Amino acid sequence: MTSLLDNLNEPQHAAVTLPAEHALILAGAGSGKTRVLTTRIAWLISTGQVSPSGILAVTFTNKAAKEMQTRLAAMLPINVKGMWIGTFHGLCNRLLRAHYRDAGLPQLFQILDSADQLSSVKRMMKALNVDDEKFPPRELCHFINAQKEQGLRASAVEAWDSWAKKKVELYAAYEAQCQREGVVDFAELLLRSYELLTRNEPLLRHYQERFRHILVDEFQDTNKLQYQWLKLLAGQQTALFCVGDDDQSIYAFRGADVSNMRDFEREFHVKHLIRLEQNYRSHGNILDAANAIIQNNPQRLGKNLWTHAGSGEPIRVYEAYADNDEARWIVEEVKALVRDGHMRAEIALLYRSNAQSRALEHALFNAGIPYRVYGGLRFFERAEVKHALAYLRLIANENDDTAFARVVNFPVRGIGARSLEALQDAAKAANSSFFAAIPQVSGKGGTSLAAFAQLIHQLREAVHLPLPELIDHVLDLSGLRTHYQNEKEGQERLANLDELINAAASFIAEEGTPSEEGELSADLAAFLSHASLEAGEHQAGEGDDALQLMTVHSAKGLEFNMVFISGLEEGLFPHENSVNDTRNGNNGLEEERRLMYVAVTRARQRLYLSIAQSRMLHGQTRYNIPSRFLDEIPKELMKWLTPKVDKSAFAAPQGDLLRGVSSAPTFYGRSGSGGSSSSGTEHGEFYSAPVARAADRNGLQIGMNVHHAKFGDGMIVSLEGSGADARAQVNFKHAGVKWLATSIAKLDVI
């Protein structure tokens, strides 16, 4: 027994050896919470306080449950596989299997995953002849799951208008269909098991008496129904041991309710609240920065991370003049780290939004650095991007059957499997492409196919537009934008579609002079080739030493020696939607700050933060101010690799900046107090972000409209240097943003 408690610090020891009472353990990032949980179980069993069958341990992932079982097996000479250790869904499934009759289910009931649930909803709607444009199936799935997570059956859902009443009717029809077929979805597992226990008192009493100790991991991520389920099982005698970190509650969009922690403390009269504050992951400067950021959230239970590992290196901050410069700097820094002997797998690039990965991926691709997108797909492999590219491929070549098959009925336009089968047969008989065979298909299916062909012809008529504008036009006319606007989680997909426009603008800018009118199809073909190559190259194989790219949400629970957090700008991180977001009674900005806290605490040794003064959005340049989170980090913890921006230099109101003002950007630069030279690093001198001033440079001024013989018309958005060293940054209408030496480039004021 003594060996179990060896090497535990004082708070960990206190948590493990608590009496059989309700307890809340505030476990900070890297404080050893998994160790505390597993050691607590082992200690309870080894001291004879409870048998293995009297333990219920709940985690949020199968990986965490497996890790807990592995650690317990190493601590105790028992068979841990029979213990009730698992996720909410896994444990509820086990409960329902054991009591399927009482739950009103067949013995061999099947579980629908997300894709199966969507198919089931679509089938139900088709049978009821429901318009899937007015009631998108995916959106209906989200609605059904949200009601179940609130513990509400269709009969209990309030509806005040005809549209809401119809959704409730469809929810009821879906329930009836699932019951008839003997299937349950993920949300149903928890709701059905909760209902089973509430309606069957002898069964409830049995499990309350059986489980003397319930231990919960990641308690801050529980939703309303999960908390109710735990309360039900705990009863009056069972000890609830909840481990969590309210500062890492970042899943409100999934229904997680951080207020469960405060409710638990109040409702269960928790006497034992233990804070695990010693961090075994990160150096002191990183932890001090995280503490400083999160203390600006008023509604928290409170803790302060510290370490014995020393202060470590300062946090490096780089301010780029544009997003492509930011990506270039990150790539150069990664190269330097690898040269110094660091593994690429121990370096992570984090970003707030998936769409940000595009510029980073492009830079890594050009540099030949292998990388892996964790918890998601590479940019050009994402479904919505591939849909958009398929339309572009059909514009370039209407005989591309692969592209045709992908989007002929996406978004849904009433072209069913039977019509496609008839088209396939006609194409085979005529030895032609699907597109060419459309006139051979008759009936309603033929009419729908002909309408699709007309759509492609319409899109092709816009081929004279600059490539970014062409893509924007395709996204609108194809219906892709409208389709994703109707999805609950469609904002991320819409952001990726907008980033595709940015990718096209960057491609044209990098490749040189845009084609003449009528020749743009050549640019389109080149861009499609570029997209295909970037999608397929440098994909790291299993086990390869590869750079890790991921969103901050995906990074939770992971740790790396070196971490880059990019895009630290107002409107991006924190996200502009967070200011007015009050989900679950919580300010959205507080959740963004928790997200930043999670991002910072992923780093063990070195942390990099980066800002881009301008960033492409919707194919246009957007000018930014640094994130407020940078202001919340003490100055002495940071090392600016470029002169620190003075926010007072930004003349535009913050609200305009957040909306992405792209008119005369006098707010783009800095005041003289920001410094004039770049700091260096051990890897050499870094490029200094431009210092724009109001003074003339060779007769040019910020905001002037100019013409260039090669790049066409544009606007000067920044100036730096003087005399022979003067440079102008010009946002060209067709060629994108470019830096030009004013002593060499001929810029005519227009």
Q: From the candidates 281, 382, 602, 604, give the one annotated as an active-site residue.
A: 602
The Cα 236–Cα 399 span in angstroms is 70
Q: What is the largest CA-CA distance in the chain?
A: 88
For residues 626-641, give the mean pLDDT. 94
Query: With 90 as the cut, is the pLDDT of residue 663 above it?
Result: no
Selecting among 87, 222, 248, 642, the annotated active-site residue is 248
pLDDT for res 188: 94
Give the whole-angstrom CA distance, residue 291 versus residue 309: 16
**Exposure letters 555-577 (e unless 16+ CB within 10 A, then b):** bbeebbebbbbbbbbbbbbbbbe
Give, in degrees to the nearest 5, the angle at Cα 513 between 530 and 510: 45
What is the band of 707 on the pLDDT scale with cuts at 50, 70, 90?
confident
Q: What is the mean pLDDT of residues 197-212?
A: 94
- Asked if 720 contacts 703 with a C-beta cutoff of 8 angstroms, the reply is no
Is 218 annotated as catalytic?
A: yes
Question: Torsions phi, psi of 421, nearest 5?
Answer: -65, -40
Backbone angles phi, psi at 582, to 5 degrees: -125, 40
Peptide bond before residue 574 is cis, with ω within 30 degrees of 0: yes
Scan for tokens 């946090």, then name that residue. Answer: 315
CA atoms within 13 A on the CB side of 272: 19
646 counts as catalytic: no
DSSP string for residues in 669-720: S--GGG-SSPPEETTEEPPPPP---SS-BTTB-TT-EEEETTTEEEEEEEEE
Contacts with 15 (C-beta within 8 Å, 6 or more apart), sequence order = 23, 25, 36, 40, 274, 276
Give yes or no: 551 in active site: no
| pLDDT per position as a tens digit, 358-376 | 889 889 988 989 998 887 7
Catalytic residue among 149, 218, 325, 472: 218
Tokens representing 406?
A: 């992908």
Q: Is there a cis peptide before residue 11, judged by omega within 30 degrees of 0?
A: no
Whether this prediction's pTM lies above 0.85 is answered by: no
pLDDT at residue 681, rounded to an integer: 38
- Range with lowest mean pLDDT among 99-108, 170-179, 622-631, 671-680: 671-680
Note the pLDDT of residue 677: 33
Q: If DSSP codes are grouped into helix, strand and coil, which group holds residue 686?
A: coil
Closest to 705 measured CA to CA, from 655, 664, 734: 664
The better pLDDT of the pair 275, 661 is held by: 275
Asked if residue 42 lies in contact with residue 76, where contact means CB atoms within 8 angstroms, the answer is yes
Helix (H) or strand (E) holding 620: strand 620-623
| Mean pLDDT across the chain | 83
266's CB contacts (< 8 A; 6+ apart) are none
Active site annotation includes 236? no
Residue 278: partners with Cβ closer than 8 Å, 6 or more residues away: 9, 11, 31, 305, 306, 307, 308
pLDDT > 70? residue 684: no
Q: What angle do CA 514, 518, 523 make, to 5 degrees?
A: 40
Mean pLDDT, range 263-271, rounded to an integer: 92
pLDDT above 90 (res 725): no
Q: Pick the closest to residue 65 from 40, 38, 85 (CA basis).
A: 85
Measured between alpha carbons, how far is residue 196 from residues 99, 219, 238, 529, 639 in Å? 9, 23, 19, 56, 58
602 is catalytic: yes
Q: Which of 188, 217, 384, 523 is catalytic?
A: 217
Closest CA to 52 of 233, 218, 231, 210: 210
- CA 23 to CA 535: how far, in whole Å? 49
Supply the pLDDT for residue 686: 35
The residues, ordered by sequence, that sit 6+ positions from 48 with a Cβ below 8 Å of its Cβ are: none
User: Which one of the listed residues 33, 606, 615, 644 is annotated catalytic?
Assistant: 33
The catalytically annotated residue of 17, 34, 69, 179 is 34
